[in-house]
Amino acid sequence: MRTSRIALSTALVAVIAASAVGCTTTDDTETIEVYTPELTISDPWVKAVDDGMTGVFGEFANETDQEVHIIGASTDAAAMVELHETVDGVDGSMMMQEVHGGFTVAPGETLTLEPGGLHLMLMGVVEPILPGDEIAVTLEFAGGATEEFTATAKEYSGANEEYTGDGDEE
């Protein structure tokens, strides 16, 4: 009797385990795999410019359940990309400066990059970026993951902030 009872409970456990796997396959997979940061990017665009510096803007939504931390970005369209914020200068004008800690997007939050606010600053634009042009930009996340998106160039005449960095600004 003892032997058959053990056999029965073993079978029961097996059934429960099988049904659990059947119900939660997705969750199990996500738990096992290394978490990959990802942002849902809407309306990415870049300000058309002949040379020098320009900005990349858009809506970056974090639809995951973990914080996404952007630590850098790059593009073939420019020599360097910095993460910038816009602040009030001492003389009342708008000034831009690098955000050394990067951009953090909490779960469920949307990071808005816009003229006069946070933006990706392209420095040393390689060739003129004309309205309608598309440039590929790669975001770098803490931990080493990356995400590429395409920004469409458009004419924009506002937000001519000065740059406070010690780079080769004009």
Give the residues lining the site for Cu ion (CB under 5 A).
Answer: 84, 96, 121
Closest CB to Cu ion among residues 37, 82: 82
Closest CB to Cu ion among residues 77, 121: 121
SS3 label, residue 77 = coil
Closest CB to Cu ion among residues 47, 84: 84
Q: Find the shortest distance in angstroms from Cβ 115 to Cu ion.
A: 10
Closest CB to Cu ion among residues 37, 47: 47
Q: Find the shortest distance in angstroms from Cβ 73 to Cu ion.
A: 12
- Maximum distance among all Cα pairs of the chain, rounded to whole angstroms: 90
Which residues are within 8 A (CB) of 157 and not within 5 positions of it... i.e. 6 or more apart? none
Structure token digits, residue 49: 């410019």
Q: Which long-range contacts (CB under 8 A, 24 or more apart) does 83-90 make?
A: 83/118, 83/120, 83/121, 84/55, 84/118, 84/119, 84/120, 84/121, 85/117, 85/118, 86/116, 86/117, 86/118, 86/119, 86/159, 86/161, 89/162, 89/164
Q: Find the shortest distance in angstroms from Cβ 66 to Cu ion.
A: 28
Q: How far apart are CA 19 and CA 43, in angstroms?
A: 42
Closest CB to Cu ion among residues 37, 123: 123
Q: Find the shortest distance in angstroms from Cβ 127 to Cu ion.
A: 20
Q: Find the shortest distance in angstroms from Cβ 55 to Cu ion.
A: 6
